[in-house]
Structures are given as C-alpha cells and as structure tokens.
Amino acid sequence: MSSPLTDTRHVSIYDTTLREGSQCAGISFTLADKITLCMELDRLGVDYIEGGVAGGSPKDDSFYKEMQGKQLSHAKLVAFGPTVKPGLSPEDDRMIAALADAGTSFVTVFGKASEEQASEILGVTPEQNLEMISSTIKYLIGKSKTVFFDAEHYFDGYKASPDYSLSCLRAALDAGCSEIVLCDTNGGVLPFEIESIIKGTLSVIPELAGHFGIHVHNDSGTADYSTVEAVRLGADMAQVALNGWGERCGNANLFTVVPNLTLKLGFDTIPDLTVLYDLAHRAAETANTKMWEFSPFVGKYAFSHKAGVHIDAVRKSSSSYEHVDPSSIGNARKFMLSEQSGRAAVIAKTNAMLPRLGFSLDDAGVIVDKIKELELGGYQFEGADASFEMLVKDLLGIKKSWFRLNTYKVVVFDNDDPKSHAGDDKSGVTASAIVDVTVDNRREITADNGIGPVDALDKALRKALTSFYPSIANMYLVDYKVRVLESKLATESVVRVVIESSDGVRNWCTVGVSGDIIKASFDALVDSYTYMLDNSLGKPV
C-alpha cells in the first residue's frame, strides 16, 4: 500500500444527497428520511449539508423548518436555489425569498456560467445573466447570508466561450460570493479537460485559489476521478453525494472521493473514515435501495479474493492485492470459496471463524474435496458464508442439531380458479405450508399461508421454531435469488437458490441446490435458521 502524499490542507466536504440524491431514479426521501440522513452526515463530520431546493416543494420547506429546531454538532446546513428569474428583482422573486427565509446562515445559488445556456435556456442576454448572478448574491449577502455560487455548466461553457464563463465567475466574486463551485453539470468533461480548464481559470483569476469547489456528474463514469483531480489542483471544497446518488448517472461518490483524498493524498476531510462502510449500507437502507456490492471501498465485495493464488498472496502480504487496509474504512477482507480456490483459502476462511468454532485447521483437504464435489452439483459458496460455516461444522462433527425436520408439505393455489381455496382471497395469498419439526423430543406441527410457496414455508417454519426459540421472531428474509443451472433440461433443470436473511443486526446468506425448487429453497431456509440459532441465544427453552 502506497504512503499518502504530504498535502494535509483541509478540504471541505459538501454533501448534496438531500437534493441531488432525491433526483436519482428510484430514490424518494420522506421528510423523516431527510432528517435521518442529515443527522447521520453531521455525525460523519461533513462540513456542509445541502438540504434541498428552498421553495421548491412543501417537503423541502418542511425540512428546513424542522431543522430550525435541531442542533447540528459540526455541519452547516445550506439552502439551495436559483438566481433571480429574468425580469424580476430579487425582492420580488419568491424563490429568492425562500432562500432568505430557510433559516440557514449559508445558501448556495446556482446560475448559468455558459453563454449558450443563458441564451437558449433562460432566454436572456449575456449581460442580463451577469446581472442576475450579481444582484442575487448581493441581495442574499444583504440578508446576512454566506453565499456559495454553483457555476452551472461552467466547463462546457468554458470550452465554447472561455471569456464569458470567466466573466460569470468574476461577477460572482465581485458581488461578494464566498465560494465559487465549478460544475460539470452534464458530466461529459473528461479529467484531463478538468485539469486544463482549472489551470486556465486560475491563470486569469488567481484570487480564486483556495476559494473554489468542484461539482461533477458521473455521465462519463469519471466524476470521482475529476473531483479528486480538482482538489489536487487547489479546490478546497468537494461536492459529493452518498453512494454517488444523483441526477441521471449520479454525482461524485462521497465513499470513493473521501478515502482517496484522505488515504491516498493525505488531505484532511472527515475525522473518522472507519464509519464509512456502515454508513454506506445504512444510507442505502434508508433510501430503500440496494447497495451495489462491488462499490469501491465500501462494497460488500470491495476486498474479496477468489483466485487461490490471490488468496495465498494476500495472506502473506495484504498489499499484494489490496490498495488500502479494509479496516481503514470499516470494511473487511473476504475469501471467496469456489473451484478456483485451494487449501490456503479454506484454511484462511475457516480460521476466520475461530472465535466462534473454537479450533484451528491445518489440513483442509476434506473440506476442499467436499466443496469441489458440491460445486460440481451446482453449489456455490462464495456468496453463502452461512452455508459454508454449516458445511465445515458438519464435516468436523460439531454441527449442532437444533431441530429435526420430520416432514413438510406445500400447497399452491390457482387464484384464477374460483374453486380454489384462495379464489376469494384478496390478500395475495397463493400458497399454504405445513411443517412438522421435533425439538428435544417435543413435536410441533404448524401451518401458515404466504405469497408463494417459499414465503409460506418460511412462515410455517418460523412459527414452529419460535415456540422453542423466541429469538427466531426477530429473523426475516431480505432477498431470494434463483438460478437455473441446466436450462437444457427444461422442467427437469437443477436450480440454485440463495437466501439472504437478517435479524435486524447482521445479514447472512445460505444456499440450496436441487432439481426441485421447493426443496432447494427449504434447504437454504433450514441452513439460515440453523445459522441464526448457532449465533444467537443458544439452548432450547
């Protein structure tokens, strides 16, 4: 792992999630979500939190009103809005009034920094646009606001007409703006162009050094790189969003930009990077969206190793295939098991269970052989750590039998058939399951309904086991995936089912394989419940 460079100057982290993030397809924050994320960002230690468009929606206005009664420990809340509308004075523009009345000491005003945009989008002359920028900033400063100016479309504008785009920055500075943010609004400018334009800008307006930020969209897939490059060239503010959420392809990702700036380049950003992994996943949960498991730094598999030679090398020297220490951002190394991994991987992964299993392993031959045998039949353990643990315990003779499954039965209804049991049911029930289990010579037979056979089985098994193990009530299914392994066999295909479960604190995955999708699903369910019982309260009641 390379040592960071020596530039330790502070770079302000300005988070745009509560505005830009809400513009991301598939994401819609409730008022409670916005407040939760705002408090999380404050605890993280970002410098500025953009709350939304003041006057833009009742939700954003309610957010600013609610936040007036809350105390942030570090961050400054920033209201966001446009320059004055053409033909109006700031005093008569309701959006400017909303900015002034949002209850924040800091405001960010966005305005066109492109002659083409001013003409074609706003329908104003270049001179009118400059006056709109200047008058808006002066008015808000007169209302005791610290004003940042988002120079929208700056890079595209500079490429087309550099003198005019520079004059927009000059107008904002002369009006008293505290920070100019150079925006690649379309996300189409490549990093080498970012570098060239920033250098050109500073050569004409040298006083901008130390007083400019960067805001990049990810339409070219280079937002993170461009943001880091801008900071390296002197930007003292990086505008980012949680998990890179934002309009179209998103914005620069806080969870990529901040570790690169801090761990690679030595800049001072936030106090504690070890909380990043947990925050990334909590944020995704709050937004009700799936976390991308391969995200740099904070993805579940960001530090996963599958090839045997890689695993062997990492065990000897972690820097051989890891660019930073996973723990530096709160993540952890993972060894993935497959036909490509060997004894070293199995030993490493099994010994990682040592605190719970209470043993170490020198000869992994039996486990390796069994894994390869099972994978030949369709099993895959690289995404099913809980099933791998069950397998190891079984092979070593230490797997505990928490319950014995006697029988189970599933009945699937045809809701289109008026004669079926569910024909008049409007609840969505499509299956019923009966489960017969025994625990310590006590037998329990239960039944339940569900939206599909797997849901019904899960509910019936949970109901049966909860009478013996109350902690089971906390368990629920998070995800369910099915893959057909031998499609040429049509209805006789072998399927692999992977189930992700949670107890509200941790998640785990189990796998089942069979020519019968119900059996494959139930095998994965049984492993899931067994894993939870192994790692929770323990003994039957």
Considering the domain architecture, whether residues 117 and 250 belong to the same structural domain is answered as yes
- Alpha-carbon dihedral sign for residues 85, 88, 89, 91: negative
Highest mean pLDDT of the ranges 362-371, 378-387, 414-423, 466-475: 466-475
Considering the domain architecture, whether residues 190 and 80 belong to the same structural domain is answered as yes
Considering the domain architecture, whether residues 246 and 114 belong to the same structural domain is answered as yes
- Domain harbouring 447, CATH code: 3.30.160.270
**Torsion region of 419: left, alpha or beta (phi above 0 gives left; psi -120 to 50 gives alpha):** alpha
Considering the domain architecture, whether residues 181 and 318 belong to the same structural domain is answered as no
- Alpha-carbon dihedral sign for residues 428, 431, 432, 437: negative
Contact (CB, 8 A) for 237 and 213: yes
**Looking at residues 472-501, what average pLDDT do you find?**
80
**pLDDT of 206-224, one tens digit each?**
999 989 999 999 999 999 9
- The mean of the pLDDT values for the chain is 89
Considering the domain architecture, whether residues 112 and 240 belong to the same structural domain is answered as yes
pTM of the model: 0.77
User: β-strand 404-412 against 442-450: which pairing, if any?
Assistant: unpaired
Confidence of residue 344 (pLDDT cuts 50, 70, 90): low
Residue 387 lies in a domain: no
Domain of residue 516: give its range.
404-534
| pLDDT of amino acid 316 | 86
Confidence of residue 334 (pLDDT cuts 50, 70, 90): confident
**Across the strands, what pairs with 501?**
477, 508
**pLDDT of 221-277, one tens digit each?**
999 999 999 999 999 999 999 999 999 999 999 999 999 999 999 999 999 999 999
Considering the domain architecture, whether residues 370 and 456 belong to the same structural domain is answered as no
The percentage of the chain sitting over the pLDDT mark of 70, rounded to a whole number, equals 88
Considering the domain architecture, whether residues 308 and 423 belong to the same structural domain is answered as no
| CA-closest candidate to residue 249, choices 293, 271, 217, 224 | 217
**pLDDT of 270-307, one tens digit each?**
999 999 999 999 999 899 898 999 999 999 889 988 77
Considering the domain architecture, whether residues 410 and 455 belong to the same structural domain is answered as yes
Considering the domain architecture, whether residues 183 and 330 belong to the same structural domain is answered as no
Domain boundary, last residue among 256, 271, 286:
271
Give me the number of domains the chain comprises: 3
Considering the domain architecture, whether residues 443 and 357 belong to the same structural domain is answered as no
Considering the domain architecture, whether residues 450 and 339 belong to the same structural domain is answered as no
- Domain harbouring 32, CATH code: 3.20.20.70
DSSP state, residue 291: P
Confidence of residue 359 (pLDDT cuts 50, 70, 90): low
Considering the domain architecture, whether residues 370 and 423 belong to the same structural domain is answered as no
